Structure 1
Amino acid sequence: MKRTIKKVAVLGSGVMGSRIACHIAGAGLPVLLLDMVPKEAADSTDAGARNKLVNDALQAALKSNPSPVYTKDVAKRIRTGNFTDNMKEIAGYDWIIEVVVERLDIKKIIFDQVEQYRKPGTLITSNTSGIPIHLMAEGRSEDFKKHFCGTHFFNPPRYLRLLEIIPTPETSSEVVDFLMDFGSLQLGKTTVLCKDTPAFIANRIGVYGIMAIFGLVEKLGLTIDEVDALTGPVIGRPKSATFRTADVVGIDTLVKVANGVADNCPADEQRAAFAIPAWLGKMVEGNWLGDKTGQGFFKKTKGTGGEKEILTLNLSTMEYGPRQRPKFATLEAAKPVDDLRTRLSMLVQGTDKAGEFYRLFHYGLFSYISHRIPEISDEIYRVDDAMMAGFGWEIGAFESWDVLGVEKTLSKMKEAGYAVAPWVDEMIASGAKSFYKVENGKRLYYDVSTKSYKAIPGGDAFIVMKNFAGQTVWKNSACRAYHLGDDVLGLEWNTKMGSIGGEVLEAIQKSISLAEEKYKGLVIANDTPNFSAGANVGMIFMYAVDQEFDELDMAIRQFQQTMMRARYSSVPVVVAPHALTLGGACELSLHADKVCAAAETYIGLVELGVGLIPGGGGTKEFAMRAADEMHEDEPENITLKNRFLTIATAKVATSAQEAYELGILRKGLDEVVMNQGRRISEAKKSVIEIYDSGYVTPVPRTDVKVLGRSGLGTLLTGINGMWRANYATDHDALVARKLAYVMCGGDLSEPTLVSEQYLLDLEREAFLSLTGEKKTLERIQSVLKSGKPVRN
């Protein structure tokens, strides 16, 4: 049968339950969220009192930061109730997710009720992370067992992309296949098939990694601040690194998982690594559990001046003290290197204590993952997928081993006394020198069972640009254009924070020319942590400080011309942004034929923050869209005002869905792709669809209605009000007036039809004049130094 999910019931509204409900509602599905009736309302007939527990939990989730929803409207798709009054309603739902407390007896009570009311064929899953899935299925009906498995979301569900699917021996293969596809396509998850082993995959490897680091703390005499400096972004891990991650997750949770592995995995060769250190036991006893109790490895306090201060725990004295900035020669040498793979190789070669840490940590990790195949997974890529999606690793563990050289590292591991599973030696002996390799744009993994390389399933849906390095069509030092197959060209760049400078603009122009010559169109995307933080402000600052205004004028013209080239090319140009997509990157998206944005895209025109206006066509584009959106029955300056405020307040959409509300993405044209890994593939499909449907080159606009003085007067009045109320500084007001002037088409006596080029010229002139302002330069300098603009 063809299975569909139209409605989902979530049983349990705790931290995970409420946020799973929010994420599923964010994917567009109606959700029924249920929990217990509070004891004090047991005899009440008031629905509000009986649903107080679930309603309070949902409201707490909606108010939490970061937000669990893409837009505020998502909450309208969630209906609340309680187990007593509303459990019978699950009969109308297609998927029932249990997320109650981690106690088998309580879960069995809930499943008794589920069996009573569910329709045959309905999916039932548990979000448990600590109870074997097969134990929950015991004693259930055949239909229940067939449609039951584990679906382990990671917290927060919106942001951590991992969804572990854990079947029992009785689970239907159709159910497993469906959930793997549904989780990936509809929920945007990296779905990983797991065996029903303690802690599944991600927590088994991740918690081992943390506990192994705790062991190295004692062995090498490292401090908390030193470890977090060594194990954060410098090795492709989240900013929260090790100890901060433990505080966020909850130290009690960490200890619970570690104890669970130690108790339930007697054959684990590293079982001793899961033993709880004395200092960690003291922290649990003292209720120092991290963020949830106000202190853990770190503690927030107020300094003498009332400012917030973060103190670090000294594991020797168990007292808190000021944070220390660690200094390691290895770390300082590697930090300036942008490429993670190159950086990792440098780090493990360090001759100081940091280098020793990196070697021992990686040797232990590589040894451990080798022994987990086939215990927790038959395929190595599932382990890497789980760690990247669940723990935020930039590259997986087996991939890291590839980066450092499998055979070379193995030799050093053995010298240091680290054993590996026999299959690794067999792999090397067979002539296979890496866990992964790329052929014809497809990534292959070494399959242990067949001792051969196989294509990663579903690879066609997950285009990774670098996998097409063998099909490079053109390149410069920062960019590469690849043939992605099916007559579609792909462009990516790898600059610091994806900044857009001269080389990137050259690459966009060249790629469009190449696509026009012999391809159906162009996809612009990349596989870096962020799409782009915008134009290269360092270059702007350099030109402005040196008063090289002719050079600056040429640079702005080149940016504008490149954006217009994207808009008016003779083949479709589709941009596939993700994560940070700011300033110039947003302008590029505004000028594309279509945008295929990852759901987690944070996009906006942020130039006002550094004392500038969007100068790459962004101001022009918003003025055009405001003109096109004006209705006869609506005061014209309301539409213009809304567009103006979006730029003037430097609003950034907190999701691609919100980008529709800000008018950055176009409803009915631009597309939101829930799964970030699929956005490039979807962009490629869009290029082909647009081209094959008979693409016609757009014609530059000469009919843009601007309001002149009538609109300008309204906007200037608003700016003056903001300034008088101290919501805007003198410089904010100056920049906003320049923006208003451009968006209204200048000081025209009446509404007038103008061309795009007219607006671009006004935009460029205003941008140039602002680069001569001292306070603008102060803001840009502040961003370059600290990453944040000064408020002047």
Structure 2
Amino acid sequence: MNKRIIKKVAVLGSGVMGSRIACHFAGIGLQVLLLDMVPTEAKESTDKNLRNKIVNDSLQAAIKSNPSPVFTKDVPNRIITGNFDDNLKDISACDWVIEVVVERLDVKQALYEKVEQFRKPGTLITSNTSGIPIHLLSQGRSEDFRKNFCGTHFFNPPRYLRLLEIIPTPDTDKSVVDFLLHYGDLYLGKTTVLAKDTPAFIANRIGVFGIMAIFQAVEKLGLTIDEVDALTGPIIGRPKSATFRTADVVGIDTLVKVAKGVYDNCPTDEQRSTFQIPSWLNKLVENNWLGDKAGQGFFKKVKGAGGEKDIQTLNLQTLEYAPRQKPKFASVDAAKPVDDLKQQLKMLVGAQDKAGEFYRQFHYGLFSYISHRIPEISDEVYRIDDAMKAGFGWEIGAFESWDVLGVERTVAAMKAAGYSVAPWVEDMLAAGNKSFYKVEGGKMLVYDPSSTTYKSISGSNEFIILSNYQDKIVWKNNSCKLYDIGDNVLGLQWNTKMNSIGGDVLTGITKSIELAEKDFKGLVIANEGANFSAGANVGMIFMIAIEQEWDELDMAIRMFQNTMMRARYSSVPVVVAHHGLSLGGACELALHSDKVCAAAETYVGLVELGVGLIPGGGGTKEFVLRASDEMHEDEPETITLKNRFLTIATAKVATSAFEGFNLGIYRKGLDEVVMNLDRRVMEAKKSVIEIYDSGYVMPTQRKDIKAMGRDVLGSLYAGINGMTKADFATEHDAVVARKLAYVMCGGDLSEATLVSEQYLLDLEREAFLSLCGERKTLERIQSVLKGGKPVRN
């Protein structure tokens, strides 16, 4: 069979999902044709703008929405808009046609009939439906259409929610399924999950069951909305939106529609009654209290007496809104300080208060349900976990949670409490298999009920999960673990609050490089969890500064700088695998590495100005060095330096890894974006090997950096004064910005001069130290430590 290449994609339907799916495909560099209906009033018009009004308005609304569906501002340039009447013929030039029109079988089938007139044979045709059986959609179509037809269910918003469910029909060619699973993973950055053509597929079937079961528990245990959302959020590895807030975001009508769909179409589901809509939920739909889109649902924004916004919560008994109440549970308070999610789960499910009772009911019901869904909705255990993690933002899958709590012990407790488990789970335990997952040789294996053996997870050869290498630890300290990840490459990760970088982590980086230089080809630095790192440990800086231990602080900054320079000047390659927040010191580590393999969703930047400091771990020095290298005769030498100065002075953070290149943090032609978060460590490992094998030579420290001196410093000072007078910056902002300008110009030099890296590092460290002595800087740091945001003083 010919190799399938996707160059151009057509998206039919420009509603909330269609426009955002189009943006995601354009974001990975493809040409996209986005089509929708001609407005009724423009049917007779020849004005292209009027005929394309629906599609153009929808695309503009998507582009302006928050969070943004595009990686960079130029992405929409790759989207061509049109309408079904004039432009459907243009799908003949497309390699993949994705249908995202209204959820009505007759509408979709009528569109497919027209599509078949213009689609070239062999072109992929898929539907994003979430509520119509996939096999019904392709009825009556040609053999070639049916062979290349499949369900591709994206989750909203498609840029950020990583799940893509692939749902074949009996007629779908296996090569199409294999292609979509691979393409979705590698190019679209998705967790691609093979699902069966059952109502609500995998994620919505399990996710909506979980929500409906919680609704029942609310009535049974007499819990409030505020209590449930406190119990079902980050404390158990779920998103901040927890349960009721999630329903408001998704739309209460959408939730009811999915629940009703399962109730109506799954007569043999042993938990069918759970999907019955409670009377109070029906009442919300009748009142049009559908959540965010209606302005009120389980929560409602109101204006307080002083004009400030306040969020009120619905009382499910009275259906009246009242101010939010902060719930108090002893078990939750005890679990909160524990950093390890698995340990937290054990504590919460074993607790003897009302919260513990809720957690037991919730987990036992969930475990019972997922066990009975195999093989109905999936043949494989891991696909259910993958779907929930990628589609609903769960940090830990349902079967993984069951493993954490102990399968055998939990099954006994479930039976005693009146919950059933599927026979295959009992068979698994009877055969001496005590868990759904196990790790061997750095690879995760999963129990397969059909063969009653453990198998490797499909496609997992492309993924490296560092914590799977517990039997390959080369070195560790209280915060860091260094693993041998095979092929003569080491992998370092650390686990601190927000993965911040303190003394232990700096020691870990230095030690890892030292060990890599001895016996290995190089080092990968990566982290698991939501974020790579929120930067340096500002709490530690604050404590030392408050105590006025200036020598100790000077040593701490030197240690940070020396560690970054050690990463830059090592005899083996150091590659950083970024993802999520990668701020301050984490950004400085990237700036000094041989290469960065960044997940597409990486938010990187030098943010120290926000807390009244300048980048002190070599970040300021590195921006001067890069500005010096970028200066050329065709433009005034000062422009590159001023641009770099503004990036730091305004604490700019890239809104995607692609934007990291625009900010000059990532290097074009060297650093790379990895679309799939799960592949970044493997790509970093491959990069280490490639760089080493191509004859890596340790770079030499630079002594030829052009520092612009007094002239440019004067113009930067003038700009800072202008910003302060116009009220764009506070007096303290100006104090910090002037220190930054002084360092970036190389100090008070009478003319442009070539200086060394160490010269700039010394200036940077002195400026950082002096700012730590400023009261207003300490106030900013304190406000970040207390409330997460710097005070504007």
- Once the 2 structures are TM-superposed, how far is the Cα of residue 142 of structure 1 from its aligned partner? 0.3
**Where in structure 2 are the equivalents of 1:547-696 lying within 5 Å?**
547-696=548-697
In structure 2, the residue corresponding to 1:72 is in which secondary structure?
coil
Provide the rounded CA distance (Å) in 2 between the counterparts of 1:470 and 1:714: 58
What is the CA deviation profile of residues 366-410 of structure 1, one whole-angstrom value per residue up to 9, with x for unaligned ones? 000000000000000000000000000001000000001100111
- Given that 1:706 and 1:751 are in contact with CA atoms closer than 8 Å, whether structure 2 keeps it comes out as yes
Provide the rounded CA distance (Å) in 2 between the counterparts of 1:489 and 1:313: 52
What is the CA deviation profile of residues 89-116 of structure 1, one whole-angstrom value per residue up to 9, with x for unaligned ones? 0000000000000000000111011111
Match of 1:407 in 2: 408
Provide the rounded CA distance (Å) in 2 between the counterparts of 1:581 and 1:404: 32
- Once the 2 structures are TM-superposed, how far is the Cα of residue 714 of structure 1 from its aligned partner? 1.4
Provide the rounded CA distance (Å) in 1 between the counterparts of 2:677 and 2:483: 20
Match of 1:229 in 2: 230
- Once the 2 structures are TM-superposed, how far is the Cα of residue 79 of structure 1 from its aligned partner? 0.5
Provide the rounded CA distance (Å) in 1 between the counterparts of 2:411 and 2:772: 55
Opposite residue 291 of structure 2, the aligned amino acid is G
What is the CA deviation profile of residues 338-393 of structure 1, one whole-angstrom value per residue up to 9, with x for unaligned ones? 11000000000111100000000000000000000000000000000000000000
Provide the rounded CA distance (Å) in 1 between the counterparts of 2:630 and 2:290: 53
Match of 1:266 in 2: 267
Opposite residue 402 of structure 1, the aligned amino acid is D
What is the CA deviation profile of residues 568-611 of structure 1, one whole-angstrom value per residue up to 9, with x for unaligned ones? 00000000010000000000000000000000000000000000
- Once the 2 structures are TM-superposed, how far is the Cα of residue 437 of structure 1 from its aligned partner? 0.3
Match of 1:418 in 2: 419
What is the CA deviation profile of residues 314-350 of structure 1, one whole-angstrom value per residue up to 9, with x for unaligned ones? 0010000000000000110001111100000000011
- Once the 2 structures are TM-superposed, how far is the Cα of residue 301 of structure 1 from its aligned partner? 1.0
- Once the 2 structures are TM-superposed, how far is the Cα of residue 462 of structure 1 from its aligned partner? 1.0
- Once the 2 structures are TM-superposed, how far is the Cα of residue 458 of structure 1 from its aligned partner? 1.2
- Once the 2 structures are TM-superposed, how far is the Cα of residue 631 of structure 1 from its aligned partner? 1.3
Q: How many residues align structurally?
A: 792
Provide the rounded CA distance (Å) in 1 between the counterparts of 2:711 and 2:634: 17
Provide the rounded CA distance (Å) in 1 between the counterparts of 2:561 and 2:462: 33
- Once the 2 structures are TM-superposed, how far is the Cα of residue 463 of structure 1 from its aligned partner? 0.6
Task: Confirm or deny that 1:238 pairs with 2:239.
Answer: yes
Opposite residue 10 of structure 1, the aligned amino acid is V
Task: Confirm or deny that 1:204 pairs with 2:177.
Answer: no
In structure 2, the residue corresponding to 1:116 is in which secondary structure?
helix
Match of 2:712 in 1: 711
Q: Which moved more, 1:430-439 or 1:635-644?
A: 635-644
Provide the rounded CA distance (Å) in 2 between the counterparts of 1:28 and 1:428: 49
Match of 1:61 in 2: 62
Provide the rounded CA distance (Å) in 1 between the counterparts of 2:528 and 2:454: 24
- Given that 1:165 and 1:191 are in contact with CA atoms closer than 8 Å, whether structure 2 keeps it comes out as yes
In structure 2, the residue corresponding to 1:432 is in which secondary structure?
coil
Task: Confirm or deny that 1:131 pairs with 2:132.
Answer: yes
In structure 1, the residue corresponding to 2:301 is in which secondary structure?
strand
Runs of 4+ in 1 over 6 A off after TM superposition: none
In structure 2, the residue corresponding to 1:313 is in which secondary structure?
strand
In structure 1, the residue corresponding to 2:351 is in which secondary structure?
coil
Provide the rounded CA distance (Å) in 1 between the counterparts of 2:457 and 2:136: 31
Task: Confirm or deny that 1:306 pairs with 2:314.
Answer: no
Task: Confirm or deny that 1:397 pairs with 2:392.
Answer: no
Match of 2:82 in 1: 81
- Once the 2 structures are TM-superposed, how far is the Cα of residue 638 of structure 1 from its aligned partner? 1.2
Provide the rounded CA distance (Å) in 1 between the counterparts of 2:412 and 2:615: 55
What is the CA deviation profile of residues 501-544 of structure 1, one whole-angstrom value per residue up to 9, with x for unaligned ones? 00000000000000000100000001111100000000000000
- Given that 1:313 and 1:319 are in contact with CA atoms closer than 8 Å, whether structure 2 keeps it comes out as yes
Opposite residue 485 of structure 1, the aligned amino acid is G
Task: Confirm or deny that 1:455 pairs with 2:453.
Answer: no
Provide the rounded CA distance (Å) in 2 between the counterparts of 1:279 and 1:337: 37
Provide the rounded CA distance (Å) in 1 between the counterparts of 2:550 and 2:369: 58
Provide the rounded CA distance (Å) in 2 between the counterparts of 1:469 and 1:643: 42
- Once the 2 structures are TM-superposed, how far is the Cα of residue 460 of structure 1 from its aligned partner? 1.6
- Once the 2 structures are TM-superposed, how far is the Cα of residue 141 of structure 1 from its aligned partner? 0.4
- Once the 2 structures are TM-superposed, how far is the Cα of residue 459 of structure 1 from its aligned partner? 1.1
In structure 1, the residue corresponding to 2:74 is in which secondary structure?
helix
Provide the rounded CA distance (Å) in 1 between the counterparts of 2:607 and 2:347: 36
Task: Confirm or deny that 1:431 pairs with 2:432.
Answer: yes
Please report the TM-score for the alignment, with normalisation by the length of structure 2: 1.00
- Once the 2 structures are TM-superposed, how far is the Cα of residue 137 of structure 1 from its aligned partner? 1.0
Provide the rounded CA distance (Å) in 1 between the counterparts of 2:302 and 2:636: 51
Match of 1:733 in 2: 734
Provide the rounded CA distance (Å) in 1 between the counterparts of 2:594 and 2:280: 58
Provide the rounded CA distance (Å) in 1 between the counterparts of 2:482 and 2:317: 54
- Given that 1:194 and 1:377 are in contact with CA atoms closer than 8 Å, whether structure 2 keeps it comes out as yes
Opposite residue 139 of structure 1, the aligned amino acid is G
Opposite residue 481 of structure 1, the aligned amino acid is L
Match of 1:363 in 2: 364
- Once the 2 structures are TM-superposed, how far is the Cα of residue 633 of structure 1 from its aligned partner? 1.6
Task: Confirm or deny that 1:72 pairs with 2:48.
Answer: no
Provide the rounded CA distance (Å) in 1 between the counterparts of 2:711 and 2:406: 67
Provide the rounded CA distance (Å) in 2 between the counterparts of 1:629 and 1:410: 64
Provide the rounded CA distance (Å) in 2 between the counterparts of 1:157 and 1:633: 42
- Once the 2 structures are TM-superposed, how far is the Cα of residue 766 of structure 1 from its aligned partner? 0.1
- Given that 1:556 and 1:615 are in contact with CA atoms closer than 8 Å, whether structure 2 keeps it comes out as yes
Provide the rounded CA distance (Å) in 1 between the counterparts of 2:207 and 2:307: 37
- Given that 1:637 and 1:714 are in contact with CA atoms closer than 8 Å, whether structure 2 keeps it comes out as no
Provide the rounded CA distance (Å) in 2 between the counterparts of 1:497 and 1:123: 42
Opposite residue 678 of structure 1, the aligned amino acid is R
Match of 1:487 in 2: 488
- Once the 2 structures are TM-superposed, how far is the Cα of residue 218 of structure 1 from its aligned partner? 0.2
Opposite residue 691 of structure 1, the aligned amino acid is Y
- Once the 2 structures are TM-superposed, how far is the Cα of residue 789 of structure 1 from its aligned partner? 0.4
Match of 2:379 in 1: 378
Match of 1:520 in 2: 521
Provide the rounded CA distance (Å) in 2 between the counterparts of 1:282 and 1:117: 46
What is the CA deviation profile of residues 430-471 of structure 1, one whole-angstrom value per residue up to 9, with x for unaligned ones? 010000000000000000000000001111211100001110
Opposite residue 31 of structure 1, the aligned amino acid is V
Provide the rounded CA distance (Å) in 2 between the counterparts of 1:662 and 1:300: 36
- Once the 2 structures are TM-superposed, how far is the Cα of residue 637 of structure 1 from its aligned partner? 1.3
Provide the rounded CA distance (Å) in 2 between the counterparts of 1:203 and 1:441: 31
Opposite residue 34 of structure 1, the aligned amino acid is L
Gapped runs of 5+ residues in structure 1? none
- Given that 1:599 and 1:676 are in contact with CA atoms closer than 8 Å, whether structure 2 keeps it comes out as yes
Provide the rounded CA distance (Å) in 2 between the counterparts of 1:505 and 1:545: 22
Provide the rounded CA distance (Å) in 2 between the counterparts of 1:470 and 1:721: 59
Provide the rounded CA distance (Å) in 2 between the counterparts of 1:761 and 1:582: 22
Opposite residue 622 of structure 1, the aligned amino acid is F
Provide the rounded CA distance (Å) in 2 between the counterparts of 1:143 and 1:104: 20
- Given that 1:471 and 1:483 are in contact with CA atoms closer than 8 Å, whether structure 2 keeps it comes out as yes
Opposite residue 280 of structure 1, the aligned amino acid is L
* RMSD of aligned alpha carbons: 0.4
**Where in structure 2 are the equivalents of 1:286-305 lying within 5 Å?**
286-305=287-306
Match of 2:14 in 1: 13
Provide the rounded CA distance (Å) in 2 between the counterparts of 1:246 and 1:569: 51
Provide the rounded CA distance (Å) in 2 between the counterparts of 1:39 and 1:524: 57
- Once the 2 structures are TM-superposed, how far is the Cα of residue 713 of structure 1 from its aligned partner? 1.1
- Given that 1:26 and 1:74 are in contact with CA atoms closer than 8 Å, whether structure 2 keeps it comes out as yes
Match of 2:92 in 1: 91
Provide the rounded CA distance (Å) in 2 between the counterparts of 1:660 and 1:717: 29
Opposite residue 205 of structure 1, the aligned amino acid is I
Provide the rounded CA distance (Å) in 2 between the counterparts of 1:12 and 1:235: 37
Q: Which moved more, 1:126-135 or 1:626-635?
A: 626-635
Provide the rounded CA distance (Å) in 1 between the counterparts of 2:518 and 2:712: 44
Provide the rounded CA distance (Å) in 2 between the counterparts of 1:623 and 1:188: 34
**Where in structure 2 are the equivalents of 1:211-222 lying within 5 Å?**
211-222=212-223
